[in-house]
């Protein structure tokens, strides 16, 4: 194909009518570790798998607060994500100062999508190499949005992005009809179960690499990490293990049956049916 | 006076002095004017000296909306209180407006002065505190808030916030902390602080009861419940003599476990 000749600048079309630089930026999102989001009629939950460079290094933060009523989960270039988060936080503060009410998330997201698009049409810039899942709560209820480097904006009931996220997406597709009436804790458990499908072969979901955030009616955006996450992980283990996830064969093509290995914790057999 | 002509007709002679009667919400007054050449008048004064008249000057950006605040620190708590009356001149605008603003769950700002400046100061502080929380991933500690408030006030050194602040909270060790401010950012950590129209009635009382000055009995640590009762008495005292203080006093007690609020009614006169 003609990929190599037309991929140097974002302002160059390929003969198939594609902007290859933008597509490469979206590849970067697919390489980031998994991040997922889901919502009910009262709450919106984000979950993420935090990656660490080495055993001695810290785990990279994936969930960031934007305002009391909004937060994001990132996949891709972390530095790009932090720039975007700073911008979003600033917009929310300005809006609160000028209008006295929290920034409506839909409006912020359309501005964010436009911000992404601008980078795809300027010679001197490059697209942001990060995909965001934005969870928010406003007077219309909870929301979950997804942005990508191309500038496209989607609203979802549930979604997953990043490496091995297909497993997460499949789990969420299976269960999304029950999500609307799920309780806050049920949503968190769904997020954790979907997340366990996204771990790579020898890794298991622990309080150090797992991360959850909730926002909803009567609840400001709150991170649940570290020791606070342990009770949910314990509950997950009682159900069937922190590595087994759901019995799906619909895994990523590049993963060699990682799903098949039982991820046991302390010798407890995962009770799969 | 709607026009120069009608004003000119209204000028009256009183005690050998020409004067223009004016009416405000606080009664009337006679503004001395000069229509001829004399020591007070300048030849090119188009308003005949009215704006230099002692009673009423030109536009002032500031107005005092009244009220008194008080804060007292203890070994593991801080008490902050403010009356809830909002006034303008001799009029009461509201009997139920708060002067206290919780910046974090461990730190409360009480401000008397010009309400619009106070509100704006709070908006600015809230934004700065949110930015801090985003960047540091924890809420600001009380001594840091104290420093930031001082800096924010000094930032407007040459057009100050007309706000007389007391900051009360617990520091990172859990000890009570009270900071006093002037309008341009000078501040100091003190055992207690009072500001606003009734401060002169409260401070001498606090000197005796809290700082234990001029007393022969043994000084002892006071529990927060006793300090709250002292605060109530103090505001009753201030309310008696200060016309701008009254209606109700809002009392907040801050400990490392959080905030509690109580409202105590005062005389409405």
* A65:B127 CB<8 A: no
The residue-averaged pLDDT of B214-218 equals: 94
Beta bridge partners of A161: A35
* B134:A65 CB<8 A: yes
CB pairs under 8 A between A and B: 11
A96 interface with B at CB cutoff 8 Å: yes
Q: What per-residue confidence (pLDDT) applies to A268?
A: 39
The per-residue pLDDT of chain B, averaged, comes to 89
Distance separating alpha carbons of residues A48 and A38, to the nearest angstrom: 12
Rg (CA), chain A: 19
Relative to beta strand B187-190, strand B91-94 is: unpaired
Q: A122-126, A238-242, A252-256, B47-51: which has the minimum mean pLDDT?
A: A252-256
Please name the residue that has the structure tokens 């300090």.
B227
Q: What per-residue confidence (pLDDT) applies to B16?
A: 67
The residue-averaged pLDDT of B109-125 equals: 96
- Which of B130, B135, B139 to mutate against chain A (most A CBs within 10 Å)? B130
Least Cα separation, residue A149 to chain B (angstroms): 24
- B164, two tokens: 């007389």
Q: A53-62, A207-216, A232-241, A255-264: which has the minimum mean pLDDT?
A: A255-264
The per-residue pLDDT of chain A, averaged, comes to 88
The full set of domain ranges for chain A reads 37-50+57-272
So what's the ipTM on this one? Answer: 0.71
- Whether the per-residue pLDDT at B14 is higher than 90: the answer is no
Chain A residue numbers with beta carbons less than 8 Å from the beta carbon of B127 are 93, 96-97
Q: A13-27, A56-70, B17-31, B196-210: which has the minimum mean pLDDT?
A: B17-31
Task: Please list, in sequence order, all residues whose beta carbon lies within 8 angstroms of the beta carbon of residue B257, skipping any fewer than 6 positions away.
Answer: none
Distance separating alpha carbons of residues B38 and B32, to the nearest angstrom: 13
* A96:B134 CB<8 A: no
The strand order across the sheet containing B12-14 reads: B12-14, B17-24, B27-32
Residue A215's closest CA among A136, A145, A105?
A136
Of the pLDDT bands very low, low, confident and very high (cuts 50, 70, 90), residue A78 is very high
- Whether the per-residue pLDDT at A266 is higher than 50: the answer is no
Within 10 angstroms of residue A250's Cβ, the number of other Cβ atoms is 14
Q: What per-residue confidence (pLDDT) applies to A267?
A: 38
Q: Counting Cβ atoms within 10 Å, is residue B18 exposed (0-12), middle (13-18) or buried (19+)?
A: middle
- Which of B134, B138, B139 to mutate against chain A (most A CBs within 10 Å)? B134
Task: Please list, in sequence order, all residues whose beta carbon lies within 8 angstroms of the beta carbon of residue A82, skipping any fewer than 6 positions away.
Answer: A64
The residue-averaged pLDDT of B35-52 equals: 61
Residue that wins the pLDDT comparison between B22 and B199: B199
- B23-29 contacts, C-beta under 8 A, 24 or more apart: B24/B56, B25/B89, B25/B90, B25/B91, B26/B89, B26/B90, B29/B55, B29/B56
Task: Please list, in sequence order, all residues whose beta carbon lies within 8 angstroms of the beta carbon of residue A21, skipping any fewer than 6 positions away.
Answer: A7, A8, A9, A10, A12, A120, A126, A127
- Whether the per-residue pLDDT at A205 is higher than 70: the answer is yes
Q: What per-residue confidence (pLDDT) applies to B60?
A: 86
Within 10 angstroms of residue B61's Cβ, the number of other Cβ atoms is 9
Q: Over the stretch A80-109, which tens digit does the pLDDT of each residue have?
A: 999 999 999 999 999 999 999 999 999 999
Q: Over the stretch B237-251, which tens digit does the pLDDT of each residue have?
A: 999 999 999 999 999
SS3 A140: coil
**Contact at 8 Å (CB) between A131 and A157?**
no
* B130:A97 CB<8 A: no
- Whether the per-residue pLDDT at A258 is higher than 90: the answer is no
* B127:A96 CB<8 A: yes
Within 10 angstroms of residue A96's Cβ, the number of other Cβ atoms is 18
Domains defined for chain B, CATH in brackets: 68-266 (3.60.20.10)
- How is residue B172 annotated by DSSP? T
Q: What per-residue confidence (pLDDT) applies to A69?
A: 97
- Whether the per-residue pLDDT at B92 is higher than 80: the answer is yes
- B26, two tokens: 């606080």
H helices present in chain A, as ranges: 20-31, 78-99, 105-119, 165-179, 184-196, 230-240
Within 10 angstroms of residue A10's Cβ, the number of other Cβ atoms is 21
Q: What per-residue confidence (pLDDT) applies to B42?
A: 65
- B192, two tokens: 């207690």
- Whether the per-residue pLDDT at B59 is higher than 50: the answer is yes
Q: A191-195, A199-203, B5-9: which has the minimum mean pLDDT?
A: B5-9
SS3 A21: helix
Q: What per-residue confidence (pLDDT) applies to B31?
A: 74
Distance separating alpha carbons of residues B69 and A80, to the nearest angstrom: 47
CA distances for B12 relative to B4, B26, B37, B47, B53, angstroms: 14, 21, 17, 16, 16
Give the residue from chain B lying closest to A99, CA to CA: B123
Q: Over the stretch A55-64, which tens digit does the pLDDT of each residue have?
A: 899 999 999 9
Distance separating alpha carbons of residues B34 and B17, to the nearest angstrom: 8
Distance separating alpha carbons of residues B253 and B227, to the nearest angstrom: 10
What's the CATH number of domain A37-50+57-272, 3.20.20.70, 3.40.190.170, 3.60.20.10, 3.40.50.880? Answer: 3.60.20.10
């Amino acid at each position: 194909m003609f990929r190599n000749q037309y991929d140097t600048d974002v302002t160059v079309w390929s003969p198939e009518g594609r902007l290859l630089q933008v597509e490469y930026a979206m590849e970067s999102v697919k390489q980031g570790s998994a991040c997922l989001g889901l919502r009910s009629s009262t709450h919106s939950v984000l979950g993420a798998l935090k990656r660490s460079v080495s055993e001695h290094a810290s785990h990279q933060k994936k969930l960031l607060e934007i305002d009391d009523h909004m937060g994001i989960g990132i996949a891709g270039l972390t530095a790009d994500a932090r720039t975007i988060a700073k911008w979003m936080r600033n917009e929310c503060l300005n809006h609160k100062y000028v209008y006295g009410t929290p920034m409506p998330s839909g409006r912020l997201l359309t501005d964010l999508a436009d911000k992404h698009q601008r980078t795809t049409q300027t010679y001197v810039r490059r697209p942001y190499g990060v995909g965001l899942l934005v969870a928010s709560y406003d007077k219309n209820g909870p929301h979950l949005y997804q942005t990508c480097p191309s500038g496209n904006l989607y609203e979802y009931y549930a979604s997953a992005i990043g490496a091995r996220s297909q497993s997460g997406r499949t789990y969420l597709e299976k269960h999304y009809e029950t999500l609307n009436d799920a309780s806050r804790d049920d949503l968190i458990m769904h997020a954790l179960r979907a997340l366990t499908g996204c771990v790579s072969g020898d890794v298991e979901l622990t309080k150090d690499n797992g991360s959850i955030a909730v926002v909803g009616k009567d609840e400001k955006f709150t991170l649940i990490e570290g020791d606070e996450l342990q009770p949910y992980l314990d509950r997950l283990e009682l159900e069937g293990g922190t590595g087994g996830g759901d019995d799906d064969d619909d895994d990523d093509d590049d993963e060699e049956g990682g799903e098949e290995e039982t991820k046991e914790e302390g010798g407890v057999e995962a009770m799969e049916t | 006076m709607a026009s120069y002509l009608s004003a000119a007709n209204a000028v009256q002679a009183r005690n050998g002095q020409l004067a223009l009667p004016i009416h405000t919400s606080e009664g009337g007054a006679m503004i001395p004017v000069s229509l001829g050449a004399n020591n007070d008048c300048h030849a090119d004064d188009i308003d005949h000296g009215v704006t230099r008249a002692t009673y009423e000057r030109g536009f002032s950006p500031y107005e005092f909306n009244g009220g008194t605040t008080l804060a007292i620190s203890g070994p593991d708590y801080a008490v902050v209180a403010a009356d809830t009356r909002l006034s303008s001149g001799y009029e009461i605008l509201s009997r139920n407006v708060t002067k206290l603003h919780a910046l974090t769950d461990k730190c409360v700002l009480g401000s008397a002065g010009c309400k619009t400046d106070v509100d704006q100061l709070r908006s600015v502080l809230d934004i700065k505190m949110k930015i801090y929380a985003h960047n540091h991933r924890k809420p600001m500690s009380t001594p840091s808030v104290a420093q930031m408030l001082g800096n924010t006030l000094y930032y407007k050194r040459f057009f100050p916030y007309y706000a007389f602040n007391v900051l009360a909270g617990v520091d990172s060790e859990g000890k009570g902390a009270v900071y006093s401010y002037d309008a341009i950012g000078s501040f100091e950590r003190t055992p207690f602080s009072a500001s606003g129209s009734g401060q002169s009635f409260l401070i001498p009382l606090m000197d005796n009861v809290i700082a234990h000055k001029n007393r022969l009995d043994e000084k002892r640590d006071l529990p927060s419940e006793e300090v709250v009762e002292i605060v109530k008495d103090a505001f009753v005292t201030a309310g008696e003599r200060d016309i701008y203080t009254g209606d109700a006093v809002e009392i907040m007690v801050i400990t490392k476990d959080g905030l509690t609020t109580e409202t105590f009614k005062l005389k409405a006169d």
